[in-house]
Every structure is written in structure tokens, then in C-alpha cells.
Amino acid sequence: MNAKISRLFIILLISVMSPLIFPQGGKVMAMVPASPIAATEAGKSSPLEESRGRLFRGIYLSADVFGYIYPIFVKDKYYSAELSATANLRNRFFPVVEVGFGHTDMVSQLYEIGYRTQAPYYRIGMDYNMQYKNGKPNYIYLGGRIGYTSFKYSVDAPAMKDPVWGDEAPVLFTDMPCRAVWAEAVAGVRAEIAKNFYMGWSLRYKYPIHKGPIVNGGPWYIPGFGASSKAAFGATYSITYYLNFSKKRP
């Protein structure tokens, strides 16, 4: 587990550092931020001044496709699709609403345990542009989310054989209701790939706040949270269209 966390931390560190080292894509730049005064040209405001200007700049509309790519590479077949709307406030604060749908209908090979669920999930939160002073459309952000889902799940498995008495106990849980609330810490990047079109990813550390009622061990996979009874890591890979409500680039 420690090795897994270490690998994720290294990837996160490299990923966070790479846009700082290559802010213009391929050209190695000195890691000295441009002076806001030097950036000011006649008739133009500096990025810092822009960050203090109009509050509402636009809306990012995103679709997360990672939830359908990830299961290709893992044995646990659970899927999710997600849409989000992010408001751009002074290119610095980004309140966000995310709505998704998660589902799984799988049978584990080792124990032949079948698990089925499907439900929508919701998250609200805020991101913070760590490079808002640069005034560029590509940026790194940190943020947080609160997630919620209400769902039902079903489990069926081979009967459990009592090793002492020799009896068999059937295993069939149908439409078990459950609600879950969790918190997420988010780190990600967003980069413009064409005018008003963006691509980006985020890494997420998810921590359960509430899960219940817990009956027969509780759910294994929670839509929006993932398959873990404890803290979990997640990721998103998003395609984004930006509705620009100001004349300047975000």
C-alpha cells in the first residue's frame, strides 16, 4: 500500500512540476515568473490586474471519459460517466458541480461473487488556480469536493458451507439500500488544445465520511466513490468546452 501511495505521489509531483518547467510546450523556460509590470503593454492590463477584474468570466462544460477507459486495464469491471460545469471566477476560483452515473455488473473469478449496482452520484466543490497570476489558459489547480450518492446493490454468491456443522447458508442480498457521503482532495491540470476546447486530468484522494446502513458487510462498490471500504484514489480525464462570457481569454 505504501509503495502504491509513493508511486502516485511521484507521478503527482512530476505532473505538477512539468507545466512549470515547460510552460510553453517544449521550450525550456527559467522558473522565474514574469513580472506583472513587465507584462503590461500599452493599453493592456497585466494578468494580475485581470485577476482582479470582472468576477464571472465563463463556464467550463466537461465530460469525463476516464471512467470508461480505466476498466479496460483492470479486472474489476465498474464504469462511470460524468459531466461537470465549472464557473470561472476571475480565473482564480472555480466552483464546480459534477453529476455522474456509475454502474457495475460483475462476477469475481476467484469467489464467484456477483455484485450489481447502478446509480447517479453528485459532487460539489471548488478548485483554485495555482497559476492565476500568469493569466494563461493552461493551469494547475487544487481543490476539494463533497460527494453524495443514494443507491441499491445486490450480491449473490455460492452458498457458504459450514466447516463444522456441514450446513450450507445461502447468500443472496437483493436491492440493499445505501447512502454514501465522501470528501475528495483534487489536484489537476487543464490545457487548451484548440480555441475554447480544453483537455485535462485530475487525481483525487477520496475519504469516506458516511456510509450506511451497513448490512451484511455493506457495499463493495459505491458509484462515484469506487471499490474500497477505506480511502480510495481516483482520476478523471476530461474533455472540456469553455463558454467564454468575457472578451478575453480565461
Partner 1 sequence: MSSRRYTTCRLILLLLVIIGVSACSSEDCPINNTVAGKMLFYNHLDDAVAINGTLTVSVVRPQGDSVVLNQKSNATELSFPLSYTHETDTLIFEYNGGIAYDSLYISHTNVPTLVSVDCGMAMFHTITAASSTHHVIDTLIIKFPEVNYDERENIQVIYHTAD
SS3 state at 156: strand
Neighbours of 56 (CB within 10 A): 11
Binding partner 1 (rule: CB under 8 A), the pick from 167, 210, 213, 247 is: 167
In what helix (H) or strand (E) does residue 181 lie, and over which residues does it extend?
Answer: strand 168-194
Question: Could you tell me the three cell numbers for 96?
Answer: 464546480
The alpha carbon dihedral of 23, 24, 30, 33 has a sign of negative
The string of DSSP codes covering 49-101 is HHTTS-SEEEEEEEEE-HHHHHHHHSSS-EEEEEEEEEEEETTTEEEEEEEEE
SS3 state at 6: helix
Least distance CB 125 / partner 1 (angstroms): 20
Binding partner 1 (rule: CB under 8 A), the pick from 44, 105, 108, 245 is: 108
Question: Could you tell me the three cell numbers for 116?
Answer: 450489481
Binding mask 35-64 for partner 1 (x = CB under 8 A): ------------------------------
Least distance CB 42 / partner 1 (angstroms): 26
Q: Does 233 bind partner 1 (CB under 8 A)?
A: yes
Binding partner 1 (rule: CB under 8 A), the pick from 169, 210, 213, 247 is: 169
Candidates 31-39, 73-81, 119-127, 240-248: pick the segment binding partner 1 (CB under 8 A). 73-81
Q: Does 180 bind partner 1 (CB under 8 A)?
A: no
As a dihedral over the C-alpha atoms of residue 243, residue 86, residue 203, residue 124, rounded to 10 degrees, the angle is -160
Nearer to partner 1, 17 or 146 (CB): 17
| Residues of this chain that bind partner 1 (CB under 8 A) | 1, 4, 7-8, 11, 15, 18, 22, 24-27, 66, 69-70, 73-74, 76, 106, 108, 110-111, 113, 115, 138, 155, 157, 160-169, 171, 173, 189, 191-194, 199-201, 203, 216-218, 220, 227-229, 233, 235, 237
